[in-house]
Amino acid sequence: MDNSKALKLKNKSSVTQLLIAIAGTFAVAYGVFLFNQHLLRTFSLPSRMILMIVTQWLLFLVPGLLMLVNREKISSLGFTKENLGRQIGIGLLIAVSMSLVLTVLPILLGFKDLVGDESYTEIWQFAFEFIYLLFGVALAEELIFRGYIFHKLLEIKNSRWFAIIISSLLFGLFHIFNGNIIQIFATALIGVLYCIFREKIKGCTLLSLIIAHGVYDFLIRLWVSVL
């Protein structure tokens, strides 16, 4: 088999795997949405807290299975053990910077309703929200969109901007079950930002984006509650 034919077969395989991963992820997301709408509240509070995190991990089920079948390592998605402190620090810096510009400033200018409406008063609520957003939402979504999908798009077409735009559009559409068109558009733009940060900031890795994503989402809840 010549190189061009082998390349076409590999490309076709990557497209097929990507479509399966996208369809599987959106199907699971819809299932999680229905579960949260109709069944979650039938469980006790401690059980609900655990289930909220576990159901987020299920979102990575199909991409994870595809990686197992193809014997792909999790490190291929952009993880590295080098300079962990720097990776974490970059993630925190991104989260705080985004929070000041995209959350605090709009609230101070009188656009609090556009930022969010979930307000908490108890310490345990903030503590759980931090754990849920970082180890549930951010971990799963970054593994899927800036991890698996982004790298599959690069296999299909060796173009960073192609991968950035498509993965970010999918990231926005992924929130269709819980948001309106404005939120979908805003989330897609945030997805572009995360991709650009990783491309342009030296030492910014997938771990950095997980931390940035989780902490930024948590800070939205915090500022809406205290400002």
Helix (H) or strand (E) holding 18: helix 3-38
H helical segments located in 70-205: 84-99, 105-108, 112-115, 123-132, 139-141, 150-156, 160-174, 181-200
Task: Say what the pLDDT of residue 2 is.
Answer: 58
Ordered per-residue pLDDT tens for the chain, 227 residues: 556 665 666 778 889 999 999 999 999 999 999 999 999 999 999 999 999 999 999 999 999 999 999 999 999 998 998 899 999 999 999 999 999 999 999 999 988 888 877 778 889 999 999 999 999 999 999 999 999 999 999 999 989 999 999 999 999 999 998 777 888 999 999 999 999 999 999 999 999 999 999 999 999 999 998 88
DSSP state of 202: T
Question: How far, in whole angstroms, is CA 37 from its chain's centroid?
Answer: 21
Task: With CA atoms as reference, report the closest residue to 7 among 172, 155, 153.
Answer: 155
Task: Say what the pLDDT of residue 180 is.
Answer: 79
| C-alpha neighbours within 13 Å on the C-beta side of residue 70 | 18
Residue 139 vs residues 124, 180, 184, 212, 227: alpha-carbon distances, Å: 21, 23, 19, 10, 27
Whether residue 211 contacts residue 134, with contact meaning beta carbons closer than 8 Å, is answered with: yes
Instruction: Report pLDDT digits (tens) over 175-204.
Output: 998 777 888 999 999 999 999 999 999 999
Task: With CA atoms as reference, report the closest residue to 217 among 108, 57, 91.
Answer: 91
| Amino acid code (one letter) for 41 | R
Dist CA 100 CA 94 (whole Å): 10
Task: Say what the pLDDT of residue 6 is.
Answer: 58
Task: Say what the pLDDT of residue 183 is.
Answer: 86
Instruction: Report pLDDT digits (tens) over 134-165.
Output: 999 999 999 999 999 999 999 999 899 999 99
Dist CA 209 CA 27 (whole Å): 24
Query: CB under 8 Å to 58, separation ≥6 — which residues?
Result: 28, 32
Rounded to 5°, the CA angle 212-71-162 comes to 50
